[in-house]
Amino acid sequence: MATFITPTDITPGTSGSWQTVDISAYIPDGATGVILHIYDVGGTAGRDIGWRKYGSSDDRTNDIGGGEHFWAAIGCSNDRKVDLYIGNTTSPQIWVVGYFGSEASFFTNAVDKTPETLDSWQTIDISSDTGTDTATAAIFEGIETGWGFGIKKYGSTDDRTGPSGGHIGAMVGLDGSERCSAYLGDATPYQTVKLWLVGYMTAGFTSNTTATDVSISSTGTWYDMAALPSGALGGVIEVSGGNSGDAYGLRKNGTSENIYDENPNTHVIGIVEADTNRVIEGRIANTDTDFFVLGYFTPTAPPEIDVYDSTAAIEDVIATTGVLQTVTAKAHILNTAQTVVARGYIGIEPTEYAYGIKITKPTYDVLTDTDSSHYIFDSRYGTLKYHATGTVTLTLDSSVVSNREQVAHSLGYIPYVEAYVEDGPGRWSYLPYWGYGASTMWHLIFSVDSTNINFYAESGSFLEEVNFIVKYFIFKNELTFDQTINVSDGTSATDSVTI
């Protein structure tokens, strides 16, 4: 998934040459690329802008219009550096607004994917560029797209094209064969139009074949757009229509960021964070400017941690991903012959019931097996939790026909207790217990309350002293006798149910 951060200005202080910018203070270890919001505040000539992965020999810089703003994404080095280019130090601003993790890959040098045919929709297939990966979204950089630009998932019947900027970023979903469709206007003989593939995503992105219209109908201020689908963290928003240079803005709902300025002509792709209600705010100057959701970012499962092979901790994964989500730690339990005798995992997820500790018997997959008989331990089911064990003695004889011994357990609630009496050498019987001999009968019972366990012994009178040794087991499990249980979901309730 894309992870968004508080927008941070990383504009280089030097213009006219590529500058390496260290952004390790803003994005975590493990980031593979960054999302940029590029904005020229206008008023100064020489507005060339460039962005490339650190270590790349790419050299694409091109002028953008004064007042224009748009989004782009580019790879970073393992130590989180990117190369940026600005034509002057007065008007351009480059903000880092988010980053990608292992779900995205970026090329050191971008791949030219410019279609041979211009002025019509053309299929772009990136399957030959992704190796063994299967990409779900492509990340592009466009040059001289001011003569016409459009991009959509392969198979879409959408048909929105329009002039865009001299230098733009774009992102779009791919079909199962790693294809999208692009439209590039023919700038011949004035300029050379180019579309470069800079990277791709393999997870954490859901694309719409037909983009969802989330346009707003009023101008003048920021308005909530329709919420993104469930689970969305942010969206890829196509801005289309209106007049060249119409102002527009996209931002996370509720934030104070106020970049509301010109559209690069009439077509741009925004990469924007949503709030927890999945809402992005939009602002337009012309009601002909529309917004369409090409796709949205969703959480991706972090990598499994093999306890035997890695010292990585669950906390590290959470820190890397930025949010608490599904984390799995696997472990193999080996016997002395190094044979797996059990498989276990610890799972954590912020949703109810989806966390716990499980151990399966050998050969069963602890991550997928749903047959409880295949489990050695499964914390989703109640278990007895040991508290203390010990013994008491109760003595009866010819004059003492009943006796009591008391254990003050100090738990403050009624615990689950089990007890056995030794009714012969090495032989233990479960309480309550009844015994008999030639001349008398006897029994032992016990009761439990929130303070004490009371053990009782009674007989019809023994001829001589008899000592009963009772072994007790106290568990932490609280016994509840005064709750009404909801029939529907098994939760406790104060109301009653009539059956």
Partner 1 sequence: MIIFYEKDTGKIRGTIEGRIHGDAHLNQWVGGREKVNRIVVNWIKNDAGSYEPDIKDEDQHNIFIKLDKNPISVYDYSIGLVSGKLFKKY
What's the min distance (Å) between Cβ of 456 and partner 1? 14
Nearer of residues 6 and 389 to partner 1, judged by Cβ: 389
Nearer of residues 346 and 392 to partner 1, judged by Cβ: 392
The identity of residue 257, as a single letter, is: E
Query: Mind giving me the DSSP string for 11-73?
Result: --S--SS-EEEE-TTTS-TT--EEEEEEEE-SS-S--EEEEEETT------EE--TTBEEEEE
CA separation for the pair 106, 129 (Å, rounded): 11
Nearer of residues 254 and 390 to partner 1, judged by Cβ: 390
What's the min distance (Å) between Cβ of 468 and partner 1? 10
What's the min distance (Å) between Cβ of 434 and partner 1? 22
- Quote the tokens at residue 75: 């790879």
What's the min distance (Å) between Cβ of 437 and partner 1? 21
Which of 449, 453, 491 is closest to 472 using CA atoms? 453
Q: Does the CA dihedral 234-235-236-238 come out positive or negative?
A: negative
Nearer of residues 78 and 467 to partner 1, judged by Cβ: 467
Nearer of residues 386 and 436 to partner 1, judged by Cβ: 386
Helices and strands in the chain, H and E counts: 1, 38
Phi and psi, residue 147, nearest 5°: -95, 5
What's the min distance (Å) between Cβ of 429 and partner 1? 14
Which of 222, 205, 224 is closest to 214 using CA atoms? 224
Nearer of residues 399 and 492 to partner 1, judged by Cβ: 399
What's the min distance (Å) between Cβ of 365 and partner 1? 37
Nearer of residues 287 and 447 to partner 1, judged by Cβ: 447
- Quote the tokens at residue 323: 């949010």
List helix spans (H) across 264-415. Answer: 314-321
List interacting residues with partner 1 (CB under 8 A): 387-393, 405-410, 422, 467, 469, 471
Which of 88, 124, 102 is closest to 11 using CA atoms? 88
b/e map of 256-280 (b: 16 or more CB within 10 Å)? ebebbbbbbbbbbbbbbbbbeebbb
What's the min distance (Å) between Cβ of 336 and partner 1? 21
What's the min distance (Å) between Cβ of 462 and partner 1? 17
- Put the strands of the sheet holding 121-125 in their side by side order: 121-125, 179-184, 149-153
Contact (CB, 8 A) for 241 and 202: no
- 3-class SS at 147? helix
Nearer of residues 114 and 451 to partner 1, judged by Cβ: 451
What's the min distance (Å) between Cβ of 407 and partner 1? 5
Peptide bond into 432 cis (omega under 30): yes
Nearer of residues 406 and 484 to partner 1, judged by Cβ: 406
CA separation for the pair 335, 339 (Å, rounded): 6
